[in-house]
Amino acid sequence: MKDFLQDLVAHTHTLGVLPLIKITASDTETLIDSIADDKTVILSAKTHSPISELSGIFGLPNLNKLDLHLKCPEYKENAIIKLIKDIRNNIEVPTGLHFSTASGDFQNEYRFMVQEIVNEKMKSAIFQGANFTINFVPAQASIQKMKFQSAVHTEESVFQVSTKGGNLIFSFGDASTHAGSFVFQSGITGSLKHTWSWPISQVQSILNLNGDITMKFADGCLMITVDSGLAEYNYILPAQIK
């Protein structure tokens, strides 16, 4: 349980844009969904194996509080984390997590958001799919080059993506400003019909996450998949046309 929660927080809360997580857990699968308030990032994830301690549909709000519980030195070793359940409308539902040291001398409770409220808040977190024509594993050198460009062009909040001659090109700024560009990926087989824009901060934060990374581009959509070993996190970023 603790390993899953730490992995979940590391791949959601650290991005700084996902305020609420929806968990859908059963005996066969554990699904994770979220969406940024400004709709710049939609998360759809699934653990490789179901988390046996979890069941039901509920929300994880106030992720900073959950993060602090998980990082608390008192819970570093031999911590006990139990799922709290309650009876509502004659049905047993998950309501929170109980954190305790082995001796029970230090305890905390973290409360879930009920299913009805999290379902309402997550209505727009459904990804309708896209025709991804470009698919590759990004090189660390390319990720580093993006950091160099964004460090120079701090006045820019978005970067542009286009294709030319089998190259995927990232550009910063335009002809009326300080500008820069570089080939993020060469030898691609697909292409984009338009030049699209994506938010620099969100894309870089996702590319900085731990795990095996795959990037997929379609006209109007970018999906970055991060496989942490425990779960596969799919971050969908709708584009803006330039």
pLDDT digits (tens, 9 = 90+) for 42-86: 999 999 999 988 889 999 999 999 999 999 999 999 999 999 999
| Ranges 129-133, 155-159, 228-232, most confident | 228-232
**Can you give the pLDDT at residue 176?**
79
Report the SS3 class of residue 8. helix
Q: What is the C-alpha separation between 166 and 163, in angstroms, rounded?
A: 7
Tell which residue, 112, 113, 84, has the closest CA to residue 100.
84
- pLDDT averaged over the chain? 93
pLDDT tens, 165-206?
A: 999 999 999 877 889 999 999 999 999 999 999 999 999 999
Q: Sorting pLDDT into bands at 50, 70 and 90, what band is 124? A: low
Q: Sorting pLDDT into bands at 50, 70 and 90, what band is 89? A: confident
**Can you give the pLDDT at residue 97?**
96
The more confident residue out of 159 and 122 is 159
**Angle made by CA atoms 147, 151, 155, in degrees to the nearest 5:** 130
Q: State the first-to-last Cα distance of the chain, in angstroms, to the nearest integer.
A: 44
